[in-house]
Amino acid sequence: MKPVLELLAASALSVGMVIGGVVVASAAFSPEEEQHQFTGLDIGDLWTSEPVRIDRTEQNLERLPPRYASHVVMTEPKAAEMVATLETEKSDSASRVGGIDLGATGSVTDDLADMGLAALPPEHVTWCATRYRSYDPVDNTYRGFSGELRDCASPHQVNPAADMDQGEGSLVTVSNDQNEIDSNVSGMQNIRACRERYRSYRVEDNSYQPYGGGPRRQCQILSF
């Protein structure tokens, strides 16, 4: 038993001496590290314990320009080009509206009769041309954002009382009855309200397509 204990003690002593030698050698041959220098110790504290009033006139602050990523290319628009583009768009829209012969659209011509189209009031044509850039006075349609053609309905549009056969024009009945006038006004208000509420609204049959599908429904918005 005694020899075993002596062997273990000698082994532990040898391992300890080896570890101690390695530590002493590494400490002796390791390069000396420079002492870390803390910067900003001579500057005052960023936050003060008491509120301090700052005089903005004594601050010499400069705003740096923005820095963009390498793949971003910034170009400054020229004011002259922007003004020219706006003027061109305005002139195009004005020429489109001015090019409409309001006198010709106020009466039923032979060409319109051959095509089966009814005359449109000048106020209606002007209203539609001003509101929709793609408005076509020939068939009274404009192209919506979805790409489909839609009929233009304005507050100035006159609904004919009875449709005549093709080539015979249209007949408009004018009455001084207050009840009929009120009904016409309410009808136009209903058309306007339906067009604002339903995108699929159709003026011809006063119907719209429900969101859940199925047959078209009559649009009737009650006003209180």
User: What residue ranges of the chain have pLDDT lower than 70?
Assistant: 72-83, 90, 92-119, 157-186, 222-224
Whether 194 maps to a domain, the answer reads: yes
Instruction: Check whether residue 150 and residue 179 sit in a common domain.
Output: no
Compute the Cα dihedral for 108, 111, 113, 117 and give only its sign: negative
Residue 192: other Cβ atoms inside 10 A: 14
Whether 11 maps to a domain, the answer reads: no
Instruction: Write down the H helix ranges in 99-214.
Output: 102-105, 110-115, 122-131, 178-197
Q: How far apart (Å, rounded) are the C-alpha atoms in residues 192 and 185?
A: 11
pLDDT for residue 170: 44
Instruction: Check whether residue 111 and residue 145 sit in a common domain.
Output: yes
Instruction: Check whether residue 92 and residue 151 sit in a common domain.
Output: yes
Are 133 and 143 spatial neighbours (Cβ–Cβ below 8 Å)? no
Instruction: Check whether residue 180 and residue 212 sit in a common domain.
Output: yes
Whether 184 maps to a domain, the answer reads: yes
Instruction: Check whether residue 192 and residue 141 sit in a common domain.
Output: no
Q: How far apart (Å, rounded) are the C-alpha atoms in residues 218 and 224?
A: 19
Whether 138 maps to a domain, the answer reads: yes
Tell me the whole-structure pTM to 2 decimals. Answer: 0.24
pLDDT for residue 49: 83
Number of separate domains in the chain? 2
DSSP letter at 202 equals B
Are 173 and 202 spatial neighbours (Cβ–Cβ below 8 Å)? no
Instruction: Check whether residue 149 and residue 191 sit in a common domain.
Output: no
Whether 222 maps to a domain, the answer reads: yes
Q: How far apart (Å, rounded) are the C-alpha atoms in residues 126 and 132?
A: 10
Q: How far apart (Å, rounded) are the C-alpha atoms in residues 114 and 109?
A: 9
- Residue 183 sits in which domain range? 175-224
pLDDT for residue 78: 55
Q: How far apart (Å, rounded) are the C-alpha atoms in residues 167 and 176?
A: 29
